[in-house]
Amino acid sequence: MGEFDFIDGVKRLFDSVQSAGFEGIGDDCAVFDMGDESLLFTTDMLQEDIHFIRKLASPFDLGYKALAVNLSDVAAMGGVPVASMLSLSLPKELGGEWAAEFMRGYHSLSEEFGVELIGGDTTSSKSVVTINVVAIGRVKSCNIKRRSGAKVGDVILVNGSLGESGDGLRSLLTGEADGVNVERHMRPTPQIREGEWLAGRPSVGAMMDISDGVASDIRHILTRSKVGAMIQLPQIPTTVDLTTALSAGEDYKLLFTSRPDEVESLMREYEERFSAPLYKIGSITNGDSLRWMDGEAESELDFMGYRHDC
């Protein structure tokens, strides 16, 4: 069974349990509306030999990344992270310097964004490292951006180059630990200030972070917004090949939509604010199909993002 079919089944199973007011499964974070402000909750796990290979990753980088991927989900809904919880399952031989260095990496990103560590759990493991993080964020309720917010005619944008993380992973796996993009893979920067800024713009419709690659992630926006899309392949910002750019994932940039009449001012003001451009990569269409375009013509190519089996 695929990951997404499993999650759909879990969601249906819990339809029978009374809701306490959470907007739950289906977006980058769960939302608890408290009036003017909402709380955001998200969790992501890193598992040795699935998400990382221990001998190829420094413990500092792993600590940094475990938190970064969670903060990215808070940013994806326009929130500011305020706290995290960390659960670690470690083989006995890693309890000393490895664990201390892991915590230094986790702490460095926590400090950078003012994210308090408020709890967690620590257990021993027979062989592999498992890391689970919960991140909690705050957001003005009227600013929350959901995957369901895209409208027909909207422009689709990303806020950075794609595929460099995937290229960095390839370098690591082929033994080039100093490849130019290795750092992009190991130290993704959560787009917190950028997400908060974009969330303050009424012209932005849907938003999410890019964890599995645009080829997979855009489908979440289409499903939740009940729309289709055309993606312009020549407009994908990347320094690597298109397949890696669209399918490798782990870029942790933001994927979002904007009303067409306000997209130029959005792009100009974003560039003024962040000294970095936004990139238009396509448009939202009627129907439910995802079409890969090369200018006016439909491309022969098809792309799939990264999928986890479970």
Binders of Mg ion among 178-237, rule CB under 5 A? 209, 211
CB 157 to Mg ion: min, Å? 17
Q: Using the minimum distance from each CB to Mg ion, give the nearer residue, 90 or 254.
A: 254
CB of 133 to ligand ADP, least distance (A): 11
Which among ligand ADP, Mg ion, none contacts residue 167 (Cβ within 5 to 8 A by kind)?
none
Distance of alpha carbon 283 from alpha carbon 151, whole angstroms? 10
28 backbone dihedrals φ, ψ, rounded to 5°: -65, -30
- Say if CB 140 and CB 85 are below 8 A apart: no
Interactions with Mg ion, residue window 65-84 (CB under 5 A): 73
> Of Mg ion, ligand ADP, none, which one sits near residue 26, judging by CB under 5 to 8 A according to partner kind?
ligand ADP
- Contacts with ligand ADP by CB under 6 A: the residue count is 9
Q: Which residue type occupies 182?
A: V
Q: Report, in Å, the least distance between residue 76 CB and ligand ADP.
A: 7
Q: Which is nearer to ligand ADP, 177 or 304 (CB)?
A: 304
Query: Among ligand ADP, Mg ion, none, what does residue 10 contact (CB within 5–8 Å per kind)?
Result: ligand ADP
Among 161, 163, 185, which residue's Cα sits nearest to residue 173? Answer: 185
Would you say 164 or 209 has its CB closer to ligand ADP? 209
| Chosen from Mg ion, ligand ADP, none, partner binding at 164 (C-beta under 5 to 8 Å by type) | none
44 binds, among ligand ADP, Mg ion, none (CB under 5 to 8 A by kind): ligand ADP
| Partner from ligand ADP, Mg ion, none binding residue 38, C-beta < 5-8 Å depending on class | none
> Among 27, 28, 154, 194, which residue sits at the site for Mg ion (rule: CB under 5 A)?
28
* Inter-CA distances, 21 with 29, 34, 134, 205, Å: 14, 10, 19, 23
Which 14-73 residues touch ligand ADP, going by CB under 6 A?
Answer: 25-28, 44, 73
Is there binding between residue 237 and ligand ADP (CB under 6 A)? Answer: no
Q: How far is the CB of 137 from Mg ion (least distance, A)?
A: 13
Binding mask of the shown chain, residues 175 to 214, with x at each position contacting ligand ADP by CB under 6 A:
------------------------------------x---
Which positions touch Mg ion (CB under 5 A)?
28, 73, 209, 211
Which positions touch ligand ADP (CB under 6 A)?
7, 10, 25-28, 44, 73, 211
